[in-house]
Amino acid sequence: MTLKDAAREVRENAHAPYSNFKVGAAIRTSTGAVFQGCNVENVAYPEGTCAEAGAIAAMCAAGEREIAEVYVIAQSPAPVPPCGGCRQKIAEFASGDVVVTLATTGGVEKQMRVAELLPGAFDASFMDGS
Ligand code: THU
């Protein structure tokens, strides 16, 4: 299954009764494995958990840590940009040149690299202190 098909498929499982905005995300790792995530909202915190965060959680739960490619899809007039928190979460496990494809269900795609999504990212090197 392509990353696009994996993201499309999991989007159908999104739990988005508050926003009515279903998002699907799929990650391919350096081993070639694919992990899927959808957004899951709840009444107390209607923004819930993003699709990208769900896919990252599945990846980590499987013991994987190295993102090679990301695909995010939603029914939206333009490809949906990941929220700030998700950009940081993706950057935790991906090098700056990793491609993130943002897509609409209508077929529009936009590709961005992680370094473009989160320029000037905070990383562990800033904690060196010396
Ligand atoms: N959402 C995602 O899952 N990923 C994104 O990249 C943007 C936003 C979700 C969170 C919430 O469930 C809904 O979309 C509206 O913000």
Give me the architecture of the 3-121 domain, per CATH: 3-Layer(aba) Sandwich (3.40)
> What pLDDT is attached to residue 128?
87
- Regarding the beta carbon of 41 and ligand 1, being less than 6 Å apart is answered yes
- Regarding the beta carbon of 102 and ligand 1, being less than 6 Å apart is answered no
Entry pTM: 0.95
Say whether pLDDT at 129 is over 90.
no
- Domain spans, the chain: 3-121
For a pocket test of ligand 1, which of 39, 40, 47, 49 has the largest count of ligand atoms closer than 8 A to its C-beta?
Answer: 39
Q: What is the pLDDT of residues 78-110, one digit of tens each?
A: 999 999 999 999 999 999 999 999 999 999 999
What DSSP string runs through the chain? Answer: --HHHHHHHHHTT-B-TTT---EEEEEEETTS-EEEEE-B--SSSTT-B-HHHHHHHHHHHTT---EEEEEEEESSSSPPPPPHHHHHHHHHHS-TT-EEEEEETTS-EEEEEHHHHSTT---GGGG---
- Regarding the beta carbon of 54 and ligand 1, being less than 6 Å apart is answered no
> What pLDDT is attached to residue 121?
87
Q: What is the pLDDT of residues 13-49, one digit of tens each?
A: 999 999 999 999 999 999 999 999 999 999 999 999 9
